Structure 1
Amino acid sequence: MRDGTGDWARYWRSDDGALEAMHAHFERHVYHRHSHETYSFGVTEDGHQAFTCRGAAHTSAAGMVIAFNPDDPHDGHAADALGFTYRIVHLGPDLVSGVLADIADRRAALPLFDAPVLDDPVLARNLRALHAALLGGAPALRRDELLTATVGSMVRRAATAPVRPAAPAATARIAERARRRLHDAPLDDVPADELARAAGCSRFALYRAFQKAHGMSPSDYQRQLRLRAARALLASGEPIGDVAAGTGFADQSHLTRWFVRYFGVTPGAFRRAHAEQ
């Protein structure tokens, strides 16, 4: 995908959706604050990419590795006018758990990564090799070997115990009630007052609790749910216009704008990548 601004992206997705990869160069593109249901491991090839994650600002320069846990809210943009080029792979938690179980020959706990940016040439080299194999059409056996090596090295060299403080019990309850309401009917046009009533608090208390628990506003979270639903429909082959109408977006262009801001590729590029598998 090229958009005429110097930005481009190439995307790959496995048949089951448990593994995704993207190679991209962004100068003007700005990621809206979002999260993934997956682990996301990236390596910056050129330039500097800046983002906020877990309440702090970070910059990944050439050769550095990015590590996001599932549901880690973050944004992203070029740190300067020259832009940045990076490779990133997204791995479903079940896939990671299965790889770790194979390595340890027993059921393994899911890892957590404390540092969103790592300066580790070994991890960078492993990620580049895995990424090149995925986008380059390497044989399945080779891909699986590189996947095992990459996940194993990420866990050995970078996984840590969680350091994020737990939200107070009352705050967590408010956020969970609101989250359940949004998950129960993500296409509903829910006013703030109604969501606050479902959570049992004021609108201000709801926003503060939700932001603390999930790292984003309720409206951003709802949009993310709709975009994830759109991804599933696109992967099943649904026409983009129908997907837009079926997931709460005004039209195809509205879906496309937000899809790019969250995932870095257009709905059409995502759909084609899945169809080519």
Structure 2
Amino acid sequence: MTAENRHWIDLKRDADSGIESLRAHFRGHAYDPHFHDDYCIGYTEQGVQQFNCRRQVQRSTPGNAFLLEPGEVHDGEAPQQEGFTYRILYLPKDWVHTQLNGLFDTLPDQFEWHVDATLSNDRRLIGSIASAFLALHQGESRMVRDACTDQMLTQATAHLQWRKRSEDPRQPQLAERARAYLHDHIHQDVGLTDLAQTLNTDRFRLSRAFKTAYGLAPHAYLIQLRLTQARRLLALGQTPAQVAADLCFADQSHLGRWFRRAYQLTPADYRRRCTDLPD
């Protein structure tokens, strides 16, 4: 059995909100470690969905919802032969923050949402995710889509906390500075030695601090950062060749290899599903 007939993916993107809705089935290995810039909220429909997140092995089964913050590194696999099926919504951070202004009379200064626990068996939350997924995926009227996503966010607030946007004191300052540098230089061919010299340290100390803080080595984090940006650019209609050149991938096939390892879709297929533009 080939990878192609072990897996299937149904992905759509809501043009108004930028929310992506995905229903997928996987057997065996699903995803390499990666992260998203979005809030990810979904539920397991069938089978056992196993993934590493927050330095723990998470096992989601039917009746479990899962919630991931932007930037949380995770992977995915099916530990049982029949595989797993799940539904997930990728909620853009800016969209979430805009909606929260309507849900709450006052918001903490410089706020952001923090997920209490990755997994939940809250039936009301799962029901609200299911309703929002169907409204978005099936292209219901804007009024219905808005009502369903509002209800989902309302249910999700019971599982989230406010966290002030600030440097986390638990994370080494060296790792914070390195991460900020990578974000600022995403379009440049950054070398590890150059990065270490910029931060007045050595490559080995930098790599240890970074991996402790973020769960990935600097080079792996930079690749994932570029892949999240690639998703954004492809969804706006840029071609894979343009995106590969803009984000310092060696060529389009280089982008394609990394993109498929992270998302199980080629860049051209992802672009087509989001924009309906030809490959």
Q: TM-score, normalised by structure 2?
A: 0.88
**Given the superposition, is the C-alpha separation of residues 241 and 97 from structure 1 closer, same or farther in structure 2, using an over 3 Å criterion?**
closer
Counterpart contact for 1:28–1:78, Cα < 8 Å: yes
Q: Is the 8 A contact 1:7 1:28 kept in 2?
A: no
> Whole-Å Cα distance in 1 between the matches of residues 49 and 56 of structure 2?
14
Residue 30 of structure 1 aligns to a residue whose secondary structure is: strand
> Aligned partner of 1:125: which letter?
G
Give the aligned partner of residue 184 of structure 1: 184
Amino acid corresponding to residue 154 of structure 1 in structure 2:
A
Residue in 2 that maps onto 1:197? 197
Matched AA of 1:41: I
Q: Determine the structure 2 residue equivalent to 1:132.
A: 134
Q: CA RMSD in A?
A: 2.4
Q: Name the counterpart of 1:255.
A: 255
Q: Is the 8 A contact 1:11 1:265 kept in 2?
A: no
**For residues 87 and 7 of structure 2, what CA distance do their matches in structure 1 show?**
14
State how far apart, in whole Å, the 1-side matches of 2:29 and 2:153 are.
29
Regions of 4+ moved over 4 Å? 165-168
Q: Deviations over 1:3-61 (max 9, x none)?
A: 63220111112226631111100114431212111110010000011111111111001
Q: Deviations over 1:245-277 (max 9, x none)?
A: 332223333322221222343212321222249
Q: Is the 8 A contact 2:18 2:91 kept in 1?
A: yes
Q: 2:148 aligns with which of 146, 158, 164?
A: 146
Mapped partners of 2:235, 2:45: distance in 1:
29
2:172 match: 172
Q: How many residues align?
A: 271
Q: Aligned-pair distance for 1:180? A: 2.9
Q: Is 1:119 matched up with 2:121?
A: yes
Partner of 1:159: 160
Q: CA deviation at 1:173?
A: 2.1
Unaligned runs of 5+ in 1: none
The amino acid of 1:130's aligned partner reads A
Report the equivalent of 2:112.
110
Q: Is the 8 A contact 2:28 2:79 kept in 1?
A: no
Listed as ranges, the gaps of 5+ residues in structure 2 are none
Asked if the contact 2:178–2:195 (Cα under 8 Å) also holds between the matched residues in 1, the reply is: yes
SS of residue in 1 equivalent to 2:197:
helix
Secondary structure in 2 aligned to 1:4?
helix
Shift of 1:215: 2.3
Q: Give 2:160's aligned amino acid.
A: A
Preserved CA contact (<8 Å) 1:181 1:198: no
Q: For 2:239 and 2:145, locate their aligned partners in 1 and report how far apart those are by CA, in whole Å.
A: 31
Letter in 2 for 1:12: K
Separation (CA, whole Å) in 2 of partners of 1:166 and 1:104: 25
Give the distance between the partners of 1:14 and 1:220, measured in 2 at CA: 30
Give per-residue Cα distances to partners, 1:107-155, cap 9 Å, x unaligned: 3643211211111221111111111111111111101100000011011
Q: Which moved more, 1:196-205 or 1:228-237?
A: 228-237
The 3-state SS of whatever aligns with 1:15 is coil
Name the residue aligned to 2:238: 238
- What CA distance in whole angstroms lies between the structure 2 residues aligned with 1:239 and 1:85? 30
Task: Return the alpha-carbon distance in structure 2 between the equivalents of residues 4 and 54 of structure 1.
Answer: 30
Give TM-score, length-normalised by structure 1.
0.88
Whole-Å separation in 2 of the counterparts to 1:54 and 1:234:
29
- Alpha-carbon contact 1:167-1:212 (below 8 Å) kept: no
Residues 257 and 161 (structure 1 numbering): CA distance in 2 closer, same or farther, change over 3 Å?
same
Which structure exhibits the higher relative contact order, with contacts defined as CA atoms closer than 8 Å and separated by 6 or more residues? Answer: 1
Matches within 5 A, 1:1-277: 4-15=4-15, 18-107=18-107, 109-156=111-158, 158-160=159-161, 166-168=168-170, 172-276=172-276
Kept after mapping to 1: 8 A contact 2:50/2:78 = yes
Q: 2:210·2:218 contact (CA, 8 Å) conserved in 1?
A: yes
Q: Percent identity?
A: 36
